Amino acid sequence: GHRRAVYSVAFSPNSQMIASSGGDRTIKVWYLAGKRLLQTYIAHRDWVSSLAFMPDKTGQKTILASGSGDRTVKVWNLRHRRLIRTFVGHKDWVSSVAFSPNGKLLASGSGDNTVRLWNLRTGKALRVISEGSGVTAIAFSPDGKTLASSTFFNSVQLWDVESGELIRTFTGHKRPVYAIAFSPDGETLASGSNNGQMILWRVESGKLQETIKAHKKEVTSLSFSADGDTLASASGDKTIKLWNPANGELLRSLSDHSAGVTCVTFSPRGHFASGSKDRTIKIWREKS
């Protein structure tokens, strides 16, 4: 489907569709059941780095956010096949986009050293959080009260969403951190760096729970399964690995991609998807 590297994959809240984006500036939306391509959007003027679906309990909405090297964030209504809004304000590439669990806030992280929280209705930035370095990834906690961000400066920060104040800095990585993910219960935060190291942190105390030499190259993406029993990591070493987050045990290593794996994400129903520089998206049916 994609003519260049795939950089992001995201499942719709009802797990029936998957969206992918990449270096070819497009977003593609696929119907999982028949592996059919439903829609292609010439989405941005530069590579599309990140995708996120708006959480939706009703199963009626299919709202997708995209972040790009063109410095913009866009929000799409896939049901009506149209662009709803373009968010302008970042001064460098957008590395990561995320919706709050209640779907009311959209956050974006950028190489311009900021995280922006956007009001979806007005398109205005509600808050700008300044980092000391380019932001590589962001993630809302499951309760939506805090937001984690990682940077090229080897650190992971935890912010109060309401006030924008820094709650805690997680220090332990020796290299830039490229990926972060919260466990579904919000008690564990996983982070992965460009030397292949993965760290599991206790969110409440900020204490380091587990350090794992996960990959031979950079960790590009992390995702917890909905039940919290499995943590998937993707890497430039062409592999995806599945871990038991309770003890850091390696459950399985998958090496089906022929180039670096850029993204991995679990669906609400337990299967997961990966995207790669080999231009393919793979859907993995089960965790075991």
Which pLDDT tens digit goes with each residue over 251-266?
999 999 999 999 999 9
Report residue 280 as tokens.
């393919």
**Alpha-carbon separation of residue 16 from 38, 94, 257, 269 (angstroms):** 12, 27, 23, 10
One digit per residue, the tens of pLDDT, for the chain of length 288 reads 788 999 999 999 999 999 999 999 999 999 998 789 999 999 899 999 999 999 988 777 899 999 999 999 999 999 999 999 999 999 999 999 999 999 999 999 999 999 999 999 888 999 999 988 999 999 999 999 999 999 999 999 999 999 999 999 999 999 999 999 999 999 999 999 999 999 999 999 999 999 999 999 999 999 999 999 999 999 999 999 999 999 999 999 999 999 999 999 999 988 999 999 999 999 998 654
Per-residue pLDDT at 101? 96
Q: 186: Cβ–Cβ under 8 A, 6 or more apart, which residues?
A: 141, 142, 143, 203
Alpha-carbon gap, residue 288 to 279, rounded angstroms:
25
Domain ranges of the chain: 51-257
Per-residue pLDDT at 286? 65
Class level of CATH domain 51-257: mainly beta
Chain centre distance of CA 244: 20
